[in-house]
């Protein structure tokens, strides 16, 4: 087994929020390498393309040395983790509802590959109410989301919704 601690933080990241950034920053202190995996969520209609999401996330985490961002359009997270040499999955948990949802996925992943451990990071209280869906809804109607997303993401949202100055 790989002695280097590599963690995959998978998600659709549409868009990448300050909550996501906080999770990545905290995970980067626990693991040798953190891979932010931009994946396709088949139940959601994305605002940003996979490449746009990768660029926004990569710029947002560029200050963290041991973090890289990849995109993957299809495949099971657990299989992609293996391909990347990751021995941990990182999941951010904001509340009890998130925990119940993530717990079931973690159990399923453990059955598919007992060597890969899921690590839950509890969201900082200041980010526990932030969701990408809410961010998009607020931004769509010209609301100020600058406190909830990195500056580059805020600008990209304004461009997407035709509100750029």
Q: How far apart are CA 101 and CA 139, in angstroms?
A: 26
The active-site residue out of 12, 28, 60, 132 is: 132
Cβ atoms of 140 and 119 closer than 8 Å: no
- Identify whether the C-beta of residue 18 lies closer than 8 Å to the C-beta of residue 81: no
The HSE-up count of residue 130 (CA atoms within 13 Å, CB side) is 25
Please state, in angstroms and rounded to a whole number, the distance separating the CA atoms of residues 73 and 163. Answer: 29
Selecting among 26, 68, 94, 160, the annotated active-site residue is 94
Which of 12, 20, 60, 136 is flagged as catalytic?
20
What digits encode the pLDDT tens for the residues 61-81? 999 999 999 998 788 999 999
Catalytic residue among 4, 44, 62, 126: 44
Task: State the pTM of this model.
Answer: 0.93
94 belongs to the catalytic site: yes
- Residue 45 above 90 pLDDT? no
- What is the reported pLDDT for 2? 55
Does residue 63 carry a catalytic annotation?
no
CA dihedral (44, 50, 54, 55) in degrees, to 10, reads -120
Active site residue 91: no
Q: Show Cβ contacts of residue 81 under 8 Å, excluding neighbours closer than 6 positions.
A: 8, 10, 87, 89, 113, 116
- Is the pLDDT at 1 greater than 70, yes or no? no
Mark whether 132 is an active-site residue: yes
Please tell me the predicted confidence (pLDDT) of residue 42: 76
For the segment 100-128, what is each residue's pLDDT rounded down to a tens digit? Answer: 999 999 999 999 999 999 999 999 999 88
């Amino acid at each position: 087994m790989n002695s280097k601690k590599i963690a995959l933080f998978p998600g659709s990241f549409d868009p990448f929020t300050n909550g996501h950034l906080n999770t990545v920053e905290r995970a980067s202190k626990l693991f040798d390498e953190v891979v932010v995996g931009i994946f396709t969520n088949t139940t959601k209609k994305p605002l940003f393309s996979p490449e746009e999401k990768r660029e926004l996330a990569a710029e947002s985490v560029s200050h963290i040395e041991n973090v890289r961002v990849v995109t993957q359009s299809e495949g099971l997270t657990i299989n992609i983790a293996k391909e990347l040499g990751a021995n941990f999955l990182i999941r951010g948990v904001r509340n009890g509802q998130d925990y119940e949802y993530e717990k079931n996925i973690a159990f399923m992943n453990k059955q598919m590959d007992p060597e890969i451990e899921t690590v839950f990071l509890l969201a900082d209280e200041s980010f526990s109410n932030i969701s990408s869906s809410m961010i998009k809804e607020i931004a769509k109607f010209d609301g100020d989301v600058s406190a909830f997303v990195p500056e580059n993401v805020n600008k990209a949202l304004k461009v997407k919704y035709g509100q750029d100055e």
